[in-house]
A and B are shown apart, each in its own frame.
Chain A
Amino acid sequence: DVQMTQSPSYLAASPGESVSISCKASKSINTYLAWYQEKPGKTNKLLIYSGSTLQSGTPSRFSGSGSGTDFTLTIRSLEPEDFAFYYCQQHNEYPLTFGSGTKLEIK
């Protein structure tokens, strides 16, 4: 199985700042990496897939990059609604696997 190592597990930032979250795969997954946002009381939201393709409705301040084993989610100019959990998921092969998550909190 492809192990996904996500870091950091916790991140504190202020509105207006930019942050990056890393996701590393245990072997090459080409560009097949997705990012999700989890917020209390809301259903999970697909933000980005295939490494860098923004899902419809995802604000342009979100961006994804990387290929092979190393991927990054960048959020520029944080808005209050961005403080949430974020998970990466490889969609290159079965079983599909997720990273352990990053909690983004307001500083």
Chain B
Amino acid sequence: EVQLVESGGGLVKPGSSLKLSCVASGFTFSSYGMHWIRQAPKKGLEWIALIYYDSSNKYYADSVKGRFTISRDNSKNTLYLEMNSLRSEDTAMYYCAKEYYSLYVMDAWGQGASVTVSS
């Protein structure tokens, strides 16, 4: 069974940094692209980043480009999202998700990690 477990969320002040992790199991992690998606309170889903299976390509939403970095360690079956210069509008539940056969859809999601940016 595919499982994705996010961690590293919390309450931080504006301008600070935070790094999320997503540990994957139940599939060959090194063979699949991975996404980060977020959902602000009472809002819809916002895709924020994708990394290819071999880290050869990375894509970002404009809202996070230059501030967030997606990375992965295939030896640890772990996906990361490093978030810098955090703003109040980055407050959201952050989900990692598995890419489905390079179709740019997500066929497995984690339960999410909560990030609150507030002074």
Q: Which residues of A come within 8 Å of B, CB atoms?
A: 1, 32, 34, 36, 43-46, 49-50, 55, 87, 89, 91, 94-101
Point out the residue from B47, B50, B104, B109 that lies within 8 Å of A44, measured CB to CB. Answer: B109
The chain B residue sitting closest to A34, CB to CB, is B105
Q: Are B105 and A43 in contact (CB under 8 A)?
A: no
- CB neighbours (8 Å) of B46 from chain A are 98
Q: Which residues of B come within 8 Å of A, CB atoms?
A: 4, 35, 44-47, 50, 59-62, 95, 97, 100, 103-111
Q: Is the interface of B mostly helix, strand, loop or mixed?
A: strand
A46-B45 contact given A94-B59, A95-B61, A95-B62, CB 8 Å threshold: no
The chain A residue sitting closest to B104, CB to CB, is A91
The chain B residue sitting closest to A55, CB to CB, is B107
Q: Are B44 and A96 in contact (CB under 8 A)?
A: no
- CB neighbours (8 Å) of A34 from chain B are 105
- Extra pairs beyond A46-B100, A91-B103 (8, CB < 8 Å): A43-B4, A43-B111, A55-B107, A89-B47, A95-B47, A95-B60, A95-B62, A98-B46
The chain B residue sitting closest to A96, CB to CB, is B47
Q: Are B45 and A50 in contact (CB under 8 A)?
A: no
Q: How far is the CA of A43 from the CA of B97 in the complex (A)?
A: 10
Q: Are A50 and B44 in contact (CB under 8 A)?
A: no
Point out the residue from B44, B50, B106, B111 that lies within 8 Å of A46, measured CB to CB. Answer: B106
Point out the residue from A43, A96, A99 that lies within 8 Å of B108, measured CB to CB. Answer: A43
- Give min CB distance, A97 to chain B, whole Å: 7
- CB neighbours (8 Å) of B44 from chain A are 87, 98-101
Q: How far is the CA of A36 from the CA of B35 in the complex (A)?
A: 15
